[in-house]
Each structure stands twice: as C-alpha cells, then as structure tokens.
Homo-oligomer: A and B are copies of this chain.
Amino acid sequence: MELDMRKMRILQAIIDDYILTATPVGSRTISKLPDISLSSATIRNEMSDLEEMGYLEQPHTSAGRIPSEKAYRLYVNSIMQQARLTEAEKRFIKNCYSNTLDEVDKVVRQTAWVLSSMSKYTSMVLKPTLRAVKLKRIQLVPVSDGRALAVIVTDIGVTRDTIISVPHGMNYLQLERVSHVLTEHLQGCPLQDVSSVNIPELKAALDSQREFLNDTLAALHKSLQTGPGGVQLAGATNILNYPEYNDMGKARSFLATIEAKDVLYKLLTEATDVEFSIKIGAENQDKDMQDCSVVTATYRVGPSVGSLGIIGPVRMDYARVMALMRHIGKSMSEVLTNMFEEDR
C-alpha cells in the first residue's frame, strides 16, 4: 500500500485536530473540513488503510483514531510546514529582553520563562559552555587561610568562580603574584586546554608555589563544566494542564524526573551538533520521558555553544514550538553577544 497525497492530507488533518483537542478524531470530523470533499465513509476506508500502515491507532473499537508516534515522526519530517509568529508575538519577545539584563544567568532565566509562557509547555535552557572561549585573566582572592576564590575572566566577559584550596600561610601578595603569573602564561588560551598547557614552564615561573598548581588547574577545569546545576527550568507545572497528565501517578513521576535535572542536562548536552533535535515519545532514552516529546536546539554566543529545550506531550504543536525556539533562541544569542561585544 502506498502513502499517496490524499492519505497524507488526511493524516495531516487528523494530527492537526488531535493536537488541538486531544480526543480521538472520527471520520466525520475530517469529512466536514472545508478543503476535504469526501464522505465520511471514504475517510473511514482511508483511515483503515492508515491504521494498517501503522500511522493511526484506535484506543477501542468505537472511538476515533489517534496518530501513532510513527505518524508524528512522519509529520515532523515531511508534512509539517514552518510556522510563523505573529507580529504581536515578536514584539512580546523583544519586550522581554528590553530590560537591563546584566548577567548571563538572568538572561538564561528570562529565556526559560519566555519560552515556557509562550509555548505553555515546560522549558529548559542550558547556559553556554565556556569550552571554546579564551581566557583573559585569572585572579585569586584570599578568602581564609588555605582557601581562595579563583575568578576566571574570559574573552566574552563571562566569568566563573570557584573556591580552591591553597597552601596554608600564603598571603595576599603571594596570591597576587601567582595570579599574575597564571594570567601571563594562560592568556589567550582556550579554556578547554587550560589544564594541559605548558605546565613545566609555569612550574618554573612559580618556583615555590608549584605544588598547588595542579590542584588549581584541575579545580579550574572542573569548574568549567556546566553540570545539571546550569539547567534553568521554567513552567514545570504547565504539563499538568494537559489531559494526558490527568493521571496523578504520571504527573508525579514526570515532575520528580524534572526536578532532578540530570536527565534534562543529558538531553540538552546530547545533540549539540544539529540545530534541532526532536525526540518523540519512545524515542527518548529515559523511561519517565517516554510519553512526552522533547525538542532541543542549540544557540551560539561567539565561539560558545548553549542549548534550550521544550518538553511537552507527544501531541505537541511542533511547528509552533520550533518557530518559538528559533526566534527566542536568536533573541537570546543577540542579547548575550551584544552584552559583551558592544563594550569590549
């Protein structure tokens, strides 16, 4: 059996309707559509074919049909057309970024919020990795005896800081000197290479302080990994508005998974090489995610990469979600890029 144009058209109509209503769609509903002039009986025959081909499923004999995951896959790959946002929506997004947002974290949080409130799904945003970014300065600030705060300033202005251990008895001036030497030697070095670069030379330059060099570099390196903590979540409870999550048990396990964040982190870091990644239902590795769909996308800030994602029911409005992510992702990139470039 072949999937001809007419079957395609009918399948699309069914999916569109089901995305909207979440109730099985019957043959009459489709035959009544203005641009389909076929009787319900004909639709029934076609639907029967589509079911046989695996694109439709029947919850029970006397109900309408619902699209299978295979259908959504087909829809996303071939049928769906790129959606457009209205001017009002674009304006809304612009507005959301017009306030002074001076920190990366704030921008990321705001983005997650916009994304979830416009899509009505759960959204997540991972802040940009610092891997490809170049180091500009390291400054060690004494905090207490044996402990210092290492501040890392980069190319694009983003800073990270961690508490590291330093040898007891080191005073302010000594740390100052170490900061200087480190900065001099590591300036311009991509962050990912920090721990592996010209160590002998550094050791020589630092003479007496050499023993804690490795520790310091390792700590720096470790602090670069974003980790599940870098995931900003928003609209976690939106999912409760969808009838497929009326079941308490489902809702609970979903929310628990979300709360833990490591699954989300994995999802966001998995596919950073493609622009969009869409996982539909059972395509998800994680068991608790197998009845949602996850759409993730990447964004760039200079050489640095981050990602954002939306989690919703399998019958989510993929076209709109992708349009939103494209637009909002771009806005965020711009804000982050300007934030540092304009005053460099």
Contacts and interface: CB of A to CB of B under 8 A. Distances in A.
Contacts of A343: 144-147, 168
A270 B135 CA distance: 43
Interface in A242-260: 246, 248, 251-252, 255-256, 259
Given A144-B157, A340-B144, A343-B144, A251 B259 contact: no
A224 to B, nearest CB: 16
Given A237-B255, A237-B259, A151 B151 contact: yes
Nearest to A104: B163
* Copies of this chain, whole number: 2
Interface string A146-190: 110101010001010101000010001000000000000000000
Interface residues of A, number: 34
A310 B61 CA distance: 49
A35 to B, nearest CB: 37
A139 interface: yes
Interface string A218-242: 0000000000000000001100110
A344 interface: yes
A120 interface: no
Contact of A246 (B141, B236, B240, B248): B248
Nearest to A103: B163
Given A143-B159, A149-B153, 12 more contacts: A137-B142, A139-B141, A141-B151, A144-B157, A144-B343, A144-B344, A147-B157, A149-B151, A149-B159, A151-B161, A236-B259, A246-B248
A168 B147 CA distance: 32
A262 interface: no
